[in-house]
């Protein structure tokens, strides 16, 4: 299943809840990766919002939990969240809580996004090919290879393309785990996989890439639209 929680709102509409956490990334004394707090907030929000977007939902609110001083950490993290919302051209409430009673030396940011969308219908095993848009990146790789980060525009185009069946963000457990998710959603297992174990298991970090299942009948046209997509493998009944 996707990394989201669905709650039925009414017959043809679900609440969609997605979360992400970032720890040890920031500018505090014991952070492992030094990056501006606004970037931490933006990427954490990105992960949760991409889960909702890829589930064909619409983000309606953002909640945060932040470990860090309000003036130094929280305001910048929230700024990053807002900038990420601006990238998607949406305006939603941002609220949350932060640790103000204890002095902390590492940054932690938890984001929960709330969205609304139609219920997902499971597939029946129609033949599909699977591709990657973007490239799984983690840690310093995200800073060093920003040109490989899949954009919201690319994800939206993929979702809107007639041959696209589903889009799934690649998380920290890598492509292999998300292929399991796709196989469940499509009702079909993998027939062949063209990637190495290292490629399959490399962390996707802050959702820098997505998996796309493409209907075999429209695969050629889809590839013409997304020529940089990396082939992963095929589904079968």
Close Cβ partners of 174 (under 8 Å, ≥ 6 residues apart): 136, 200, 201, 202, 203, 204
Domains belonging to the chain, first-starting first, are 5-117 (3.30.1330.10), 128-236 (3.90.650.10)
Tokens of 120: 């997902």
Position 101 scores a pLDDT of 85
SS3 call for 40? helix
SS3 call for 116? strand
Mark residue 24 as left, alpha or beta (left: phi above 0; alpha: psi -120 to 50; beta: remaining): left
Chain segment 100-111, per-residue pLDDT in tens:
888 889 999 999
Chain segment 76-86, per-residue pLDDT in tens:
999 999 999 99
Close Cβ partners of 13 (under 8 Å, ≥ 6 residues apart): 116, 117, 118, 119
Strands 94-99 and 57-67 turn out to be parallel
- Whether 42 and 83 have beta carbons less than 8 Å apart is answered as yes
Angle at Cα 111 formed by Cα 106 and Cα 115, nearest 5°? Answer: 175
How far apart are the C-alpha atoms of 216 and 237, rounded to whole Å?
A: 13
Mean pLDDT for the stretch of residues 14-28: 95
Chain segment 201-234, per-residue pLDDT in tens:
999 999 999 999 999 999 999 999 999 999 999 9
Q: Is residue 7 within a helix (H) or strand (E), and if so which, with residue range?
A: strand 5-10
Is this structure's pTM higher than 0.85?
Answer: yes
SS3 call for 55? coil
H-helix segments, the chain:
37-54, 75-87, 140-144, 152-160, 174-186, 197-201, 219-225
- Is residue 236 over pLDDT 70? no
Mean pLDDT for the stretch of residues 46-64: 97
How far apart are the C-alpha atoms of 170 and 9, rounded to whole Å?
A: 27
Tokens of 229: 């997509």
Chain segment 148-205, per-residue pLDDT in tens:
999 999 999 999 999 999 999 999 999 999 999 999 999 888 888 999 999 999 999 9
Angle at Cα 68 formed by Cα 114 and Cα 74, nearest 5°? Answer: 55
- Is residue 237 over pLDDT 60? no
């Amino acid at each position: 299943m996707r990394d989201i929680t669905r709650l039925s709102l009414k017959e043809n509409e679900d609440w969609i809840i997605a979360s992400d956490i970032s720890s040890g990334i920031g500018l505090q004394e014991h952070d492992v990766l030094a990056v501006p707090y606004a970037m931490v907030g933006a990427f954490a929000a990105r992960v949760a919002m991409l889960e909702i977007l890829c589930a064909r939902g619409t983000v309606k609110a953002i909640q945060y939990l932040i470990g860090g001083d309000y003036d130094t950490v929280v305001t910048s993290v929230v700024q990053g969240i807002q900038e990420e919302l601006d990238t998607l051209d949406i305006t939603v409430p941002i609220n949350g809580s932060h640790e103000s009673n204890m002095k902390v030396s590492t940054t932690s940011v938890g984001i929960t996004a709330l969205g609304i969308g139609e219920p997902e219908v499971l597939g029946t095993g129609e033949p599909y090919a699977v591709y990657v848009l973007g490239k799984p990146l983690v840690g310093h790789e995200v800073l060093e290879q920003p040109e490989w980060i899949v954009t919201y525009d690319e994800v939206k185009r993929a979702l809107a393309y007639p041959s696209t069946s589903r889009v799934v963000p690649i998380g920290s457990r890598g492509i292999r785990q998300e292929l399991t998710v796709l196989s469940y959603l499509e009702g079909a297992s993998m027939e062949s996989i063209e990637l190495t174990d290292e490629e399959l298991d490399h962390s996707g970090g802050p959702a820098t890439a997505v998996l796309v299942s493409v209907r075999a009948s429209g695969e050629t046209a889809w590839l013409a639209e997304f020529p940089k997509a990396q082939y992963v493998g095929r589904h079968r009944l």
